[in-house]
Amino acid sequence: MNPILLTMNTDIIKTVILLIAKIILFLLFFAFGIKAHAQQTLTLDEAISMAYQGNKTLKIQNLEELRSKQAIKEAKTAWLPNVALNGNISRYVDRQVIFLPGTFAGTDKDVQEVNVGGLYQYSGAVTFNQTLFSLKANKQLRSSQIEEQIKRQQTGDLESRLIREVTKTYFQVLLAQKQLVLLEKSLYRNEKALKDAKSLYFQGKGLKTDTLRSYIAVENLKASVSYQLSSIRLSKIQLKQLLGFDENYDFELEDSLTLEDHYDALTVFDESISIENLKRHDLSIQKLIIELEENRLATVKATQSPQISFIGQYQLQSQSDDAKIKSYTWHNTSFIGVNLSIPIFSGGKTTAKLKQHQLKLQEEKIKMEDLYNTVKLELATIISDWNHAKLQYETQKRTVEAAEVNYAMNNQRYSNGIGSKLEVTDAELALTSSQINYLYAIYNLKMSKTELKRALGELTF
């Protein structure tokens, strides 16, 4: 073969191989890119941040807060000028009638009716009203400001509860995943035990009861694994709803269900702290509600106080018996003045309203006292749960170590022919149960910490 052709063929082959390699690398990067996009890793802090941006309930509450701010602007309009343009066109079928003393009308009657005015009447007016003094308007403005503060505190309370729910659901998914791993390991051990039991039974060296016991254990574990998979799926759906994700969005949790080295040094509640000094949103909300009811009571009282307004009007009007507007003569009338309004009697309506708001104020004060007691009980419960969770964790930690040793010993005894299959099965069950209880102890400690922060008002974005 010609050396030149051989060299050309070799170059072509190298070029083709290089092109194929580039295509394969591109496809691999593309596939990994899709997988990375479809299955994003998510830390707890990232999940909380995403919930702040995407949670629909929080978005609704934010809109409520914005709406309350607009209510303040509405209340402020009571102190702004009110200008209106009014116009009227009338066509009378019969002329208007006025009644005059007969002497004015040149008749002998005591009262003489006189037809006046044109059949077509046109009028237009610009009116002006500016409030100068109104206790009621002041109180209504203050009420709208308090309501806006309540909405703001409600938003903060919702954020705190949302962080707790996201944290709880996040750890529930981790807990379920860890349990699944333990159950799958247990299933693997029991399937191996079932296989060994069948082999021994067919060799005439084992009992049928051992095979049945292993079979039952395997089937129960299969059901538990299936249930755990369903639990993980449902918990993930709940977490997606909290974060505002689409149901088809997939992610993997990056954090792990483990404790910090110094978990025992975590901040606990200082019982010397006064309940009033806690930064709890529910306490702030109730205080604002009491202030709001006091202000509403003052608003009702203010309806009995005088109101003073500066008023003015400029009016153009004309009347005629035909509809030819061009031939009309227009007359203007204008005035300015001060209007004083003093309520005197409203049929007992104000008194009834006062009584209603007084009763409502007493009700809210009782609620405040009850809320203080509830908070005290909540804190005491959380501290008790925290101490119990610490004790449970230490106990389960030692139990797992003992269960691992116990399972290894019984498995070794059975392998050496000096132990029974029942002992191995019981040891395996005790090991799996203690490992699951250990996971629950870690979960309870983490949730107790979260609940404590929320109870102290420290759980914020």
The pLDDT assigned to 80 comes to: 94
The pLDDT assigned to 269 comes to: 54
Q: What is the pLDDT of residues 162-185, one digit of tens each?
A: 999 999 999 999 999 999 999 999
Are 106 and 164 in the same domain? Answer: no
DSSP 8-class letter at 249: -
Are 326 and 436 in the same domain? Answer: no
Residues 6+ away with beta carbon under 8 Å from 133: 306, 307, 308
The pLDDT assigned to 338 comes to: 96
Q: Is 265 helix (H, G, I), strand (E, B) or coil?
A: helix
pTM, two decimal places: 0.79
Are 375 and 407 in the same domain? Answer: yes
Q: What CATH number has the domain bearing residue 63?
A: 1.20.1600.10
Are 286 and 411 in the same domain? Answer: yes
**CB 254 within 8 Å of CB 105:** no
Are 367 and 410 in the same domain? Answer: yes
Q: Give the β-pairing of 96-101 and 111-116.
A: antiparallel
The pLDDT assigned to 35 comes to: 44
Are 224 and 371 in the same domain? Answer: yes
Segments in the chain below pLDDT 70: 1-39, 205-206, 260-273
Are 316 and 397 in the same domain? Answer: no
Residues 6+ away with beta carbon under 8 Å from 181: none
Residue 421 in any domain: the answer is yes
Q: Which domain holds residue 63?
A: 43-80+134-305+348-455
Are 138 and 211 in the same domain? Answer: yes
The pLDDT assigned to 288 comes to: 97
How many domains is the chain partitioned into structurally? 3
The pLDDT assigned to 226 comes to: 94
Residue 460 in any domain: the answer is no
Are 215 and 97 in the same domain? Answer: no
The pLDDT assigned to 36 comes to: 42
Are 187 and 314 in the same domain? Answer: no
Per-position DSSP letters for 66-104, written without gaps between them: HHHHHHHHHHHGGGS-EEEEEEEEEE-SS-EEEEEEHHH
